[in-house]
Amino acid sequence: MSSEPEPRILISRKEIATAVERLAAEITRDYLGKYPLLVGILKGAFMFLADLIRHLDFPLEIDFVRLSSYGGTKSSGKVSQVQGLLTLVKGRDVLLIEDIVDTGLTTGFILDYLRKQMPGSLKLCALADKPARRRRPVVIDYLGFTVPNKFLVGYGLDLDEKYRNLPDICSLED
């Protein structure tokens, strides 16, 4: 018997593909003719962003950010910093792309960071929303799925860097 948890499919690749097409249609309706900047949050959102933009048949740009945390202050023990964005955000129609919103702290932090750079507009697209553990309210403008309070892997989502390559979104069962 292995002690590795067993991935169990929660959202199939087919359901994901359907949701991605629906989200792409909503985004197309709102951004057609605007030349938006889509900003993916690494690493988790890479697969979702890659699939999504294949359904967006108009000019756009993409860039990526990652949130790095490191120990440093004696008060909190953790400081977060947004890294990686090379594109000028000022005046752009920015659409932030996230895999899953859980506590809301990551997305909230990156939205604050982007907002300070005075984008023309700023919206959020998330593949999944896990509202049970929310600590900071976040408006999700384009949402794929509301998911239960379980740890999910696959389709970009990891557990200790593993399982990102699974084509379905799975929960880990012991």
Sheet holding 61-70, edge to edge: 79-83, 61-70, 37-42, 93-101, 121-129, 142-146
Q: Which residue, judged by CB position, is nearest to Mg ion in the bound state? A: 44
102 is catalytic: yes
Peptide bond into 78 cis (omega under 30): no
Residues that bind ligand IMP (CB under 6 A): 41, 44, 98-107, 130, 151-153, 157-158
Which option in ligand IMP, Mg ion, none does residue 103 bind, with CB closer than 5 to 8 A by kind?
A: ligand IMP
Q: Which is nearer to Mg ion, 44 or 119 (CB)?
A: 44
**If 0-12 CB within 10 Å is exposed, 13-18 middle and 19+ buried, where does residue 96 land?**
buried
Grouping H, G, I as helix, E, B as strand and the rest as coil, residue 167 is coil
Q: Taking the C-alpha atoms of 102, 108, 110 and 115 in order, what is their torsion angle to the nearest 10 degrees?
A: 150
Q: Which does 96 bind (CB under 5 to 8 A by kind): Mg ion, ligand IMP, none?
A: none
H helices, E strands: number in the chain = 3, 9
Of 54 and 150, the one with the shorter C-beta distance to ligand IMP is: 150
Q: Which of 13, 34 has the CB closer to ligand IMP?
A: 13
Binding residue (CB under 5 A) for Mg ion from 44, 104, 119, 144 = 44
Least separation in angstroms between CB 67 and Mg ion: 8
Active site residues: 102
